[in-house]
Amino acid sequence: MTDLKLVSSVRCFEGEQRRYEHQARTLDCTMQFSVYLPPQALSSEHVPAVLWLSGLTCTDENFSAKAGAQRVAAELGLALIIPDTSPRGDQVADDDAYDFGKGAGFYVNATEQPWAKHYQMYDYISKELIELVHRELPLNGRLSISGHSMGGHGALIMALRETERFESVSAFAPIAHPSACPWGLKAFTGYLGEDRATWQEYDAVTLMRQGHQCPPLLVDQGSNDNFLAEQLNFSLLEETVKSLDSPGHLRLQKGYDHSYYFIASFIEEHLRFHHSYLTR
């Protein structure tokens, strides 16, 4: 008996854009997530996948509707796995601000009340959801990870901490050093408490400085991003990555902002980047 309930399915580039619902044990609530299955997966072939983590205020549907990723995923034979950004439901704690609570889980395992009961997003995605989709869907076990903003932060920390799990990692405008920006300070204090030592395992720059190995890396950042100066710490990430034994590719894209227009402009390059490692 499957653990998944199919909520919707639409034809897209000879594949299917699906939305599933399941009872998430890690989060103690009902969750939905989106999946794009390329035509190869509908023809009895098991395919590699890219896990996409979205940013603040997003759900699992923003990327699938706005990024334009399905055409390239269909060509390359890549599945796209797109989780939600936080636990959901009336019983789940929330906050009036856009950058905390529902839609702003920050991909951490919360330790503070009232958040700890449901906000276990790191374990939900890195363990429960990955295991679920590989058990229930035609995937071959090879996986890469990408994300935007808060989701770029999530992609980087998961790739650094779960190095054996991911073939490659990419990000668009990631919150690279959340311990030292307003969004991260608010989220980490609220979810994790005042002990900053606890924050380190959820901070990409800190993890890199501690010697965590990074899979092949691609990062794009728009030069006209209105969050660049205060929130994202791109220059610090660039400096840190350059010090690694296997530095990645970090690109400042002139004139681009923080929106999905930026993501849509470069998502093809990111998917082709991941495909090159997923099929080696």
Helix or strand holding residue 22 (H, E): strand 15-24
Whole-angstrom distance, CA of residue 121 vs CA of residue 273: 26
Size of the chain, expressed as the number of residues it contains: 280
Residue 113 CA from chain centroid, whole number = 25
Strands 79-82 and 47-53: parallel
- 258, 34 contact by CB (below 8 A): no
- 203, 196 contact by CB (below 8 A): no
Exposure string (b/e) for 224-252, b if CB count within 10 Å is 16 or more? ebebbeebbbbeebbebbeeeeeebebee
Which are the contacts of 28, defined by CB distance < 8 A and separation ≥ 6?
87, 117, 118
Whole-angstrom distance, CA of residue 270 vs CA of residue 189: 32
Q: Give me the phi and psi of 254, to 5 degrees please.
A: -65, 130
Whole-angstrom distance, CA of residue 175 vs CA of residue 177: 6
Instruction: Just list the catalytic residues.
Output: 149, 225, 258
